[in-house]
Amino acid sequence: MLGVPADAVTKADRQAAKAVGFGLLFGMGARTLQAYARNNYGVTLSERDAEEFRTRFFAAYPGLRAWHRTRPYGATDTRTVLGRRRLGVEAFTRKCNTPVQGTGADGLKAALGLLWETRGRCPSAAPVLVVHDEIVLECDERDADAARDWLVECMTTGMARFLVRVPVVVEAGVARDWSGTPLADHSDADAA
């Protein structure tokens, strides 16, 4: 979208890409995208920039444009891939949002179920917080890597149940606390 080589992408570039990707996925027009980028990602776009991003985005993802065109006019029910429904949806952005965000929620709940079913894999770890598409585990420091791997596996498997034609990529990190303080490299401690 930005014409920047992958190895030169900055944090600001990623924020702009998130705003554009999520905003346009959910059917926003240029003006709505402009406000969404500013309010949710701190990205300032001119209306012309927003329109240019829309043009590039839909040129890169013509299947998404075609999917948008299948959204019915007027109030309608929407469904997730699993079949959960939302009744009487009128706004175009909600007609686009519900199948995507709702299916993401279905996958997240499946991941939580898998964490419960397989909790013996990492007995010191427990889910303590779930926000949107994130699960926070707390565990003993010595189990941090195992907990991360277990979480990634459960999230990938949980979501893959619903997205059979779309690759599922999960990112997970290890930190000392919820603010993201890096965990000291325990390989040094093991060597001492």
Residue type, 95: K
Instruction: Pick the last residue of a domain from 54, 70, 86.
Output: 70
* Residue partners of 83: CB distance under 8 A and separation at least 6: none
Q: Is 107 inside a domain boundary? A: yes
DSSP H stretches of helix in the chain = 11-25, 30-41, 47-60, 62-69, 92-117, 144-160, 186-191
SS3 string, 158-184, reads HHHCCCCCCCCCCCCCCECCCCCCECC
Q: Is 142 inside a domain boundary? A: yes
Q: Is 79 inside a domain boundary? A: no
Residue keyed to tokens 């034609």: 165
Q: How confident is the model at residue 190, as a pLDDT?
A: 35
Q: How many domains does the chain have?
A: 2
Let me know whether 38 and 113 are in one domain. Answer: no
Instruction: Pick the last residue of a domain from 70, 89, 122.
Output: 70
- Token pair of 137, please? 């585990």
> What's the pLDDT tens digit per position in 31-59?
999 999 999 999 999 999 999 999 999 99
Inter-residue contact 47 to 29 (CB < 8 Å): no
Q: Is 34 inside a domain boundary? A: yes
Q: Is 135 inside a domain boundary? A: yes
Residue keyed to tokens 């498997």: 157
Of residues 70 and 186, more confidently modeled: 70
Confidence at 186, pLDDT banded by 50, 70, 90: very low
Q: How many CB atoms lie within 10 A of CB 148?
A: 17
Q: What is the extent of the structural domain holding 12? A: 1-70
- Average of pLDDT values for 56-82? 90
Let me know whether 122 and 42 are in one domain. Answer: no
Let me know whether 127 and 63 are in one domain. Answer: no
Confidence at 148, pLDDT banded by 50, 70, 90: very high
Spatial separation of the C-alpha atoms in residues 188 and 2, rounded to whole Å: 40
Residue keyed to tokens 């959910």: 26
Output b/e per residue, 59-69; b: 16+ Cβ within 10 A: eeeeebeeebe
**pLDDT over 70 at 5, yes or no:** yes
Confidence at 71, pLDDT banded by 50, 70, 90: confident
> What's the pLDDT tens digit per position in 94-112?
898 888 889 999 999 999 9
**pLDDT over 80 at 185, yes or no:** no
Q: Is 91 inside a domain boundary? A: no
Let me know whether 111 and 179 are in one domain. Answer: yes
Residue type, 86: R
Share of the chain above pLDDT 70, in %: 96
Q: Is 145 inside a domain boundary? A: yes
Residue type, 28: M
- Average of pLDDT values for 151-173? 91
Confidence at 192, pLDDT banded by 50, 70, 90: very low
What average pLDDT does the chain have?
Answer: 89
Q: Is 76 inside a domain boundary? A: no
